[in-house]
Amino acid sequence: MAKKIEKNIITALDIGTSKVVALVGEISNDGSIEIIGIGRHPSRGLKRGVVVDIEATVNSIQRAVQEAELMAGCEVHTVYAGIAGSHIRSLNSHGIVAIRDQEVTRVDVERVLDAAKAVAIPADQRILHVLPQEFIIDNQGNIREPAGMAGVRLEARVHIVTGAVSAAQNIAKCVRRCGLEVNDIILEQLASSHAVLTEDEKELGVCMIDIGGGTTDIIVFVDGAIQYTAVIPIAGDQVTNDIAMALRTPTKAAEAIKIEHACALTGLADANEMIEVISMNDRPGRKISARALAEVVSARYDELFSLVKSELHRSGFESRIAAGIVMTGGGSRVRGAIELAEICFETPVRHGSAQRVAGLVEATANPALATGVGLLLHGYQQQYVNNYTSSVATLGATPVWDRMKEWFKGNF
């Protein structure tokens, strides 16, 4: 099979708690992205989004990338990787500079973003993204792209995302041990939002909940800009553990039961339906009702949604998400999760699957792959979209990562 031309290839690497997913996208002549390769492998070296076993993580990455390469018929050399975990922190900040020559240039935009990110952060944290919410020129606000506009004073309101140096460092080390280079490290819920949210939802106000294996990631958009991000250390793996403990069954069997039979809303479960359960230590199997299983699962999802609701209340944007809630990630596929969320949040809730890409149907229809698709879209913006202000406003300030890469190189 002829190898694809590398310059037209973008590779995303979603290093999650439960699985590692590699997606290979090809840039078509019309500028669209076609997904031509998917590789996945169970993740053995991460806990709640953070690398805890480098060798196991490296092995999982290698297996996933090799599978994606085989399907796509190409060799992968660089990747866009995601980062998540409870070490992620965020805050809103504000910067002001004088406009040189009374017309905003790219240099002015960089200067005001530098001023906005001049905030005190812990020594063990590094800035991952500086995400503009709005620019203000001489008290005129709600400006998205200030370049070329006339004025005297330029202000920027931004959302800053930081992460533990060691967490980003270990991801980069694992990827490099696989013979690959990291083009960028992106916050996973930011990547997912690129794939599943519409521009109308972002303008109107929306909260995206990405339920993964180890963490549940939250991101809130209002007026087209990111206003709040948070990470909750409860997700799909906790549901699996609850099933394993309640039914006294091996974790692998509990995961299979969750995928096949779990229901997050007790009222939707059939009390007459019986489920086969494998017992521990070669003891005889037994049966339980689907209603009993639903009671176990619904308790954990109810707790999770209560924590998300508390985060929304803390953010101050609870009343401003007129477009409702969008749920994505593998944990959102449990039957009844959407219905339970609508009861808990008292607002419309929908499933979020990947948009704006073509190719393999599995990647576009499966919410568990939304983060990987978002990483591809991020890579496309960085490599093929030249409008500086537009890419920064939607994806974060690239120069920050350039400095982080130099820092990594200096230490490894």
pLDDT at position 73, please? 92
pLDDT at position 31, please? 77
Output the six-digit token pair for 161.
Answer: 């995302």
List the single range of 209-213, 270-274, 371-375, 384-388 with lowest mean pLDDT: 384-388
pLDDT at position 389, please? 35
- pLDDT tens column, 176-219: 999 999 999 999 999 999 999 999 999 999 999 999 988 999 99
Instruction: Look at residue 98 and tell me whether its pLDDT is greater than 60.
Output: yes
The answer to whether 72 and 25 have CB atoms below 8 angstroms apart is no
Residues 6+ apart with CB under 8 A from 367: 196, 327, 328, 329, 330, 332, 333, 351, 352, 353
The answer to whether 99 and 127 have CB atoms below 8 angstroms apart is no
Output the six-digit token pair for 131.
Answer: 């995400």
Q: What angle do CA 111, 117, 123 make, to 5 degrees?
A: 135
Residues 6+ apart with CB under 8 A from 20: 13, 14, 40, 41, 42, 43, 57, 60, 61, 63, 64
Q: DSSP character for 333?
A: G
pLDDT at position 410, please? 52
The answer to whether 90 and 228 have CB atoms below 8 angstroms apart is yes
Quickly count: other Cβ atoms within 10 Å of residue 410's Cβ.
7
Instruction: Look at residue 282 and tell me whether its pLDDT is greater than 80.
Output: no
Question: Which residue is associated with the tokens 């593998």?
Answer: 330
Distance in angstroms (rounded) separating the CA atoms of residues 20 and 41:
5
pLDDT at position 404, please? 52
Q: What are phi and psi of 80, to 5 degrees?
A: -105, 120
Sorting pLDDT into bands at 50, 70 and 90, what band is 399? very low
Instruction: Look at residue 154 and tell me whether its pLDDT is greater than 80.
Output: yes
Sorting pLDDT into bands at 50, 70 and 90, what band is 85? confident
Q: How far is CA 109 from CA 29, 134, 151, 189, in A?
A: 32, 12, 13, 25
pLDDT at position 114, please? 94
Give the residue from 282, 174, 307, 298 showing the smallest Cα distance to 232: 307
Question: Which residue is associated with the tokens 């990827």?
Answer: 175
pLDDT at position 365, please? 81
What is the rounded average pLDDT for all residues in the chain? 88
Distance in angstroms (rounded) separating the CA atoms of residues 163 and 171:
12
Q: How far is CA 167 from CA 35, 115, 162, 174, 322, in A?
A: 28, 26, 11, 11, 35
Output the six-digit token pair for 303.
Answer: 């707790």
List the single range of 7-21, 137-151, 359-373 with lowest mean pLDDT: 359-373
Instruction: Look at residue 368 and tell me whether its pLDDT is greater than 90.
Output: no
Output the six-digit token pair for 143.
Answer: 């400006």
**Mean pLDDT on 72-77:** 92
**Mean pLDDT on 354-382:** 85
Sorting pLDDT into bands at 50, 70 and 90, what band is 7? low
List the single range of 43-47, 56-60, 223-227, 238-242 with lowest mean pLDDT: 43-47
Query: For the whole prediction, is pTM greater than 0.75?
Result: yes
222-257 burial, b at 16+ Cβ within 10 Å, e below that, comes to bebbbbbbbbbebbbbbbbebbbebbebeeebbbeb
Q: What angle do CA 206, 362, 63 make, to 5 degrees?
A: 110
Q: Listing from the earlier edge strand, what are the strands of the sheet with 181-187?
A: 181-187, 78-83, 9-15, 19-27, 33-42, 358-359
List the single range of 94-108, 124-138, 169-183, 349-363 with lowest mean pLDDT: 349-363
Give the residue from 55, 63, 73 showing the smallest Cα distance to 20: 63
Sorting pLDDT into bands at 50, 70 and 90, what band is 400? very low
**Mean pLDDT on 85-112:** 92
Q: DSSP character for 356?
A: S
